[in-house]
Amino acid sequence: MSYPKVAGEFETVRELLRTGKSIARFGDGEIKALEKGVYTRELVKSRALSRELKKTLHGPHRNCLIGIPTLDPKGPKFTHWKRAVRRYLPHFTTPPYYSAFISRPDNGVGMETREYYELLVQLWANKNPVVIVAEQRSKLVTCVRETNIVVHVVCQMFGAYAQIAALEKAVVEAKPAIALLACGVTATCLANRLSKHGIQAIDIGSIGGFLQRWRTGGSKPTSYAEERTT
């Protein structure tokens, strides 16, 4: 069994722009939570979390794309991700797949550029309101609020999955043009849920720092070192 073909970061964002679909992203933490029901930021084991992740991965709503690690040899942390292939393969069986690295320039290819920044911000450009589900202090909220009307739905740092029904209700009631989700593994499940309501939901993760440095002209990383695995 070989690793499935995965669209790159630029191709993934262009597909989101073209179709208006959502994306739910699966990385190492989401796969661990799927297998064991425990995610670093959730702390408490949850069978419901495990079940919902499996359902999202294998039977997503027709308007929700699934993002997984690309395993692109050009990626700065390719060696790290390659070590996990054997564990991932049993789960990645229902393509097509898109990049889980759209908010991870430290893992994706060619993302630390003005070109990628300008492509990404097109997702919410001229769209109001933008609902952002994130913690109280969020660089993402600060950056998007500079150009958009933002409804900030605050989620707790730990155990956010226990709030998912309330978060879903709050987003739906806000009637957003787009929802940006930065709430860990909960975002993976929430993106799929919101797709059922006809809302484009982007599981966007920790992208605030990237947006801030390109929007303000701050210093940029020159390279990303290969990380060690335990």
| pLDDT of 166 over the 90 cut | yes
The pair of three-digit structure tokens given for residue 54, joined into one six-digit string: 């499996």
pLDDT value of residue 168: 98
Task: Give the separation between CA 6 and CA 51, rounded to whole angstroms.
Answer: 24
> 153: which strand partners?
133
Task: Give the separation between CA 102 and CA 99, rounded to whole angstroms.
Answer: 6
Domain boundaries, the chain: 9-216
Half-sphere exposure of 42 toward its Cβ, with a 13 Å CA cutoff?
24
| pLDDT of 24 over the 80 cut | yes
Tens of pLDDT, residues 174-216: 999 999 999 999 999 999 999 999 999 999 998 999 999 999 8
pTM of the model: 0.93
Task: Give the separation between CA 35 and CA 199, rounded to whole angstroms.
Answer: 28
Secondary structure of residue 72 in the 3-state scheme: coil
> What element of type H or E holds 117?
helix 114-121
pLDDT band with cut points at 50, 70 and 90 for residue 230 = very low
Q: Which among 164, 184, 208, 230 has a CA at the least distance from the CA of 41?
A: 184
* Cis peptide preceding 69, ω within 30 of 0: no
> 184: which strand partners?
none
Among the ranges given (87-91, 172-176, 209-213, 221-225), the one the predictor scored with the smallest mean pLDDT: 221-225
| pLDDT of 130 over the 90 cut | yes
